[in-house]
């Protein structure tokens, strides 16, 4: 991962071991913040990020992508992905999706990357 100029101002993500029987938010529970890039024809989103505050005060994130391979997961401590601030959690979720898209070509990948760049380091994202 290539660090940018302002990345040194961020705390590092806190990675705990995966807890196979750990918890995630239940379907009836909403995360504190959800960022979605809707799909124009399908019922699922092209990409989605969930950011939620854990009971210990740390922030967790999930990053979901609907492409030919598709990968989706619900935010929760099960995944061991924590950050000190909600802004850092969003940043790390964006980084995760960017890494998963990698160098994929196509209009969907370009659209998702454009959306991710708009979210990254955006102080207005949580308003």
Is residue 102's pLDDT more than 80? yes
pLDDT band at 125 (very low <50, low <70, confident <90, very high): confident
Mean pLDDT across the chain, nearest whole number?
86
Residue 126 lies in a domain: no
Residue 38 lies in a domain: yes
Which residues, at least 6 apart from 116, have a Cβ–Cβ distance to it below 8 Å?
Answer: 47, 94, 97, 98
Backbone angles phi, psi at 37, to 5 degrees: -110, 100
Q: The whole model's pTM is what?
A: 0.84
Tokens 């961020």 belong to: 10
Residue 7 lies in a domain: no
Count of beta carbons in the 10 Å neighbourhood of residue 44: 13
Residue 127 lies in a domain: no
Nearest to 33 by CA among 72, 55, 67, 60: 60
- 108 lies in which domain range? 12-119
Residue 3 lies in a domain: no
Please report the pLDDT score of residue 98 as a whole number.
Answer: 93
Nearest to 34 by CA among 52, 60, 58: 52
């Amino acid at each position: 991962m290539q660090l940018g100029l302002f990345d040194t101002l961020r705390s590092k993500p806190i990675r705990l071991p995966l807890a196979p029987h750990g918890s995630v938010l239940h379907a009836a529970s909403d995360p504190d913040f959800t960022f979605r890039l809707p799909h124009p024809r399908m019922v699922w989103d092209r990409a989605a990020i969930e950011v939620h505050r854990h009971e210990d005060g740390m922030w967790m994130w999930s990053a979901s992508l609907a492409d030919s391979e598709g990968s989706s997961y619900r935010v929760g401590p099960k995944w061991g992905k924590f950050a000190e601030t909600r802004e850092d959690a969003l940043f790390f979720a964006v980084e995760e999706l960017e890494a998963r898209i990698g160098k994929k070509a196509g209009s969907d990948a370009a659209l998702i990357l454009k959306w991710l760049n708009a979210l990254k380091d955006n102080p207005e994202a949580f308003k």
